[in-house]
Amino acid sequence: MRIHNLHIIKNLVTAIAVTLFFSCKNDFDEVQKIGVLQNQPIGEAENIDLKYTETKEDTTVRLVANLLSPKMLDYSNRDFAFSEFPKGIKLIVYDDENNKTTITSRYAIYYTETHIIDLRDEVVIATHSGDTLRTHQLYYNEKLEWVFTNQRFTFKGPTSDTHGYGFDSDKTFKKYQIHEMGGDIELDN
């Protein structure tokens, strides 16, 4: 009788283990699918034309910036949320006198929490005063209104061209620092 009961218990345990094994496989497949979905963007937009405005004390509305891009991917479902622009951007920024600065790149990513914009591939910033900065990668800190790169750059001002590695500047290029000079430099006599 004991052997018969032991045999029944073994069969029962085996049946439960097999059932759990096969049911876990389906759950594991579902967990894998959820993981893939979490790595996908929560939203996609094509041919975007975003206008950023501010309202002044006298209730007039002023255009601050205009962002144009063929494609935007929204990853706000991630722990470290960001928006990706895989086909590049054109950003037109207007100052208080309505002068515009144009920023272009072939790729961009905006990190929501840090307010850092990472611009890559043929980055060009052209100001209304004729200054132009060209580099392969450039970061812009929105809170500090500061641009910086550790890459090779070319800065063309109204009177001279400067080449080097590493560039930090305020958004107007009035206060800037060059980390390392290099390339052809013109000097006034």
| Confidence band of 186 (pLDDT split at 50, 70, 90) | very low
In a domain, 107, yes or no: yes
Q: Answer yes or no: do 113 and 160 share one domain.
A: yes
Residue 165 pLDDT: 92
* Cα–Cα dist 139/119, whole Å: 6
Backbone angles phi, psi at 115, to 5 degrees: 60, 40
Torsion region of 30: left, alpha or beta (phi above 0 gives left; psi -120 to 50 gives alpha)? alpha
Range of the domain at 153: 45-181
Indicate the number of domains in the chain: 2
**Using one digit for the tens of pLDDT, what is the confidence trace for 105-149?**
999 999 999 999 999 999 999 988 888 999 999 998 888 888 899
**Using one digit for the tens of pLDDT, what is the confidence trace for 23-37?**
555 555 555 455 555
* Cα–Cα dist 50/60, whole Å: 19
Between the alpha carbon of residue 145 and those of residues 48, 142, 173, the distances in Å are: 24, 5, 11
